[in-house]
Amino acid sequence: MSENKKIVFLTGTRADFGKLKSLIEITRNEPGFEVHIFVTGMHMLHEYGYTLIEVEKCGYENIYPFVNHTHEQTMDLSLAKTVEGFSNYIRTLGPDLIVIHGDRIEAMAGAIVGALNNILVAHIEGGEVSGTIDELIRHAVSKMSHIHFVSNQKAKDRLVQMGEQDSSVLVIGSPDVDLMLSENLPSIEKVKNYYGIPFEEYGLAMFHPVTTEIKSMDKYAKEFVDALLESNENMVVIFPNNDLGSSFILQEYKRLEGLDQFKIFPSIRFEYFLTLLKKAKFMVGNSSAGIREAPYYGIPVVNIGTRQQNRALHQDIINCDYSKVEILEALAKTKNCDFTKEDLFGDGRSDQLFIESLNNPEFWNLSKQKRFIDWAK
């Protein structure tokens, strides 16, 4: 390539940044590419840890922060503001490629802006299913994107079923597995010292709102916290994302403050989180980390409610309803759980497969005029 290709990675949460990080790292160290990072969403909210700081600590150049909403602003207004801000940004920068991840409104904004400005859009981890509004957003993002880097063959099959061209869907695995299997994760001693976690043994608790069940989220949050309190387990509790309904969960978490068995954090650096997960007794809640990351470490998981419905689930995951009684029964089962390690999302080489694609001249010749591929009759 005669001149550097400008690539913008868009990140809106601590979670998607963790999944994009290995791709950012390998691309910024590869000749011929100029990496830029558009940081928005939860990263900019102080009540969620202001994780823009964590992005900046990585030492990246060309970081552009943008505030797209305040706490629990409605998703449609946040989307509109993100589209406006990102559109102004790319008009100044003139990127060759926009890289987005997953199923949140920030990714949708990136896809909309790229598609409507004739800029190549690459979507990471499309083609997956769940049980909430996230799935609608994810599939919409896929249809606005030009190329897809997916985590497994099932995800590819779904995108092809949705009319995407087979050659534009590349199976690379989940990029966070690159970090999970890295030998450079911090030690558990370093993590505990950094965050002041005194527990010898502990569980990880992460509970997110389900926007399609907003009328019941106050009750669900109360049942969850009641179960944590009655479990008599040491718990590292991490704040939910900022979707509609998160205020109910945060209000309930106030009941845990000051109690010796709980350590509560707005956010934890991704590599440090992985070490905590690797050494945990169990994980409880409805986070995708229990579905994706925990099986790689063989950690027992209690998956609550419908948020991860229809995802590729490890056979040993303990599913339960939102009630305190069911959650406590499921937690009891983790004590005798023989959880088998399982690889559902790649072998930790996503970054290598990603950069191989970018180094292929044919990648940059991909038509931005998409066409729907009908199934063969």
Model confidence over 349-372: pLDDT tens digits? 999 999 999 999 999 998 888 989
142: nearest Cα among 81, 101, 95: 101
- For residue 226, give Cα distances in angstroms to 134, 244, 264, 285: 27, 21, 16, 13
Judged on CB neighbours under 10 Å (0-12, 13-18, 19+), 377 is exposed
Q: Provide the Cα torsion 266, 270, 271, 277; round to 10°.
A: 70
pTM recorded for the entire structure: 0.81
96: nearest Cα among 111, 81, 118, 76: 118
**With 80 as the cut, is the pLDDT of residue 71 above it?**
no
* Cβ contact 46:86 at 8 Å: no
Tally the residues of the chain.
Answer: 377
At a CB cut-off of 8 Å and minimum separation 6, what does 27 contact? 7, 33, 35, 354, 355, 358
> Looking up tokens 């995407």, which residue turns up?
164
CATH number for 5-181+347-365: choose from 3.40.50.2000, 3.40.1080.10, 3.10.450.50, 1.10.340.30: 3.40.50.2000
225-248: pLDDT as tens digits: 999 999 999 999 999 988 888 999
Query: What do you get for the CA distance between the two ends of the chain, in Å?
Result: 41
The reported pLDDT for the residue numbered 1 is 43
The reported pLDDT for the residue numbered 216 is 94
Q: Which residue type occupies 272?
A: Y
d(CA 322, CA 108): 30
Q: 183 or 302: whose pLDDT is higher?
A: 302
CATH class of 188-334: alpha beta
220-230: pLDDT as tens digits: 999 999 999 99
Domain ranges of the chain: 5-181+347-365, 188-334
d(CA 16, CA 26): 16
In the chain, what percentage of residues exceed pLDDT 70? 93
